[in-house]
Amino acid sequence: MVKVNVVAVGKVKEKYFADGILEYSKRLSRYCEFKIIEIAEENYQKADCALINVIKDKEGERIIPHLKGYVYAMAIEGKKTSSEKLALSIKNLCDKGNGVITFVIGGSYGLSNAVKDRADELLSFSDMTFPHTLFRLMLSEQIYRAFSINGGSAYHK
């Protein structure tokens, strides 16, 4: 069974987001081993451009050891795709024998260049900015949707 990891900076504080993520984690258990790995977030009240790069680099150093298998880095400059195309991409990875797929969500300032360089693909859901906990829920749902599409489930209409 394929392993799907979501490496995410920060913790989910809101119960309603945590409940939603847990629900999709349970649903995914029939398709894959789904795991969320939380990375400590750097805490700075105000950051200039130089400090933002330091923050991203520090978070990136904590992220990189968890990047296994095929890595999708979630980045606003990444390519946009449909649910069906994401499903096809995941199916192709599984068919090729990739045992681990990792999705990465950066902190509030994004991902370091080192993490982006390590990624196999940069993905974006939108040009808009979303709260990280909401995005984690959205990503969990899209991963579930992709496996549902590939499994022939009626979930995706």
DSSP states along 51-117: HHHHHHHHHHHHHGGG--SEEEEEEEEEEE--HHHHHHHHHHHHHTT--EEEEEE-BTTB--HHHHH
User: Would you say residue 65 lies in a domain?
Assistant: yes
Q: What does the pLDDT look like over 33-78, one tens digit per residue?
A: 999 999 999 987 777 888 999 999 999 999 999 999 999 999 999 9
* pLDDT tens-digit series, residues 1-26: 999 999 999 999 999 999 999 999 99
Tell me, yes or no, whether 85 lies in a domain: yes
Note the pLDDT of residue 100: 98
- 76/66 Cα distance (integer angstroms): 21
Residue 82: inside a domain: yes
Give residue 141's pLDDT: 98
95 is a domain residue = yes
Rg, the chain, Cα only: 15
How many separate domains does the chain show? Answer: 1
The answer to whether residue 39 is domain-embedded is yes
Binning pLDDT at 50, 70 and 90, where does residue 154 land? confident
Mean pLDDT over 76-94 rounds to 96
What range defines the domain where residue 80 resides?
3-151
State the CATH number of the domain containing residue 58: 3.40.1280.10
Query: Given a cut of 80, is residue 82 above it in pLDDT?
Result: yes
Tens digit of each residue's pLDDT (9 = 90 or more) over 104-153: 999 989 999 999 999 999 999 999 988 989 999 999 999 999 999 999 98
pLDDT at 46: 77
